[in-house]
Amino acid sequence: MIHKLSLGAVCGLAVMLAVPSAQAETIRITIDKLVFSPAEISAAVGDVIEWQNNDVMAHTATAKGEFDVVIPPKKTATLTVSKAGTFDYTCRFHPNMKARLQVRQ
């Protein structure tokens, strides 16, 4: 499962204990004018995805049943990756915003 950080420190702690911190990376995605950039990223379990929203409106990174991260305007939001797979995600407010997160074990 991929959890929002806000679901609880327990999930985040479990991920941190399971993965050596030296290997965990933070992968940054920028949102500019309703576009995720880069649109396709590759991460490993334990990595942190950080979205930076440069727009003046809120966006989300939402993969139904997997994760739903709200990124307020001019703010960042993060997700700790805890499950391998390919996750196509969109913004709930702007369905044309599409991106893909590929997670390796």
Tell me which residues touch Cu ion (CB under 5 A): 59, 91, 93-94
Q: Which is nearer to Cu ion, 1 or 33 (CB)?
A: 33
Q: Shortest gap between Cβ of 26 and Cu ion (angstroms)?
A: 22
Smaller CB separation from Cu ion, 94 or 98: 94
80/104 Cα distance (integer angstroms): 13
Taking the least distance from each CB to Cu ion, the nearer of 8 and 72 is: 72
User: What is the sign, positive or negative, of the torsion defined by CA atoms of 50, 92, 42, 56?
Assistant: negative
Closest CA to 99 of 48, 24, 34, 55: 34
CB of 90 to Cu ion, least distance (A): 8
- The rounded distance, in Å, linking the Cα atoms of 105 and 102 is 10
Q: Please report how close the Cβ of residue 5 comes to Cu ion at its closest, in angstroms.
A: 20
Name the residue nearer to Cu ion (CB basis): 45 or 69: 69
Amino acid at 45: V
Per the listing, tokens 């679901």 go with 7
CB of 78 to Cu ion, least distance (A): 17
User: Which tokens is 38 given?
Assistant: 């880069």
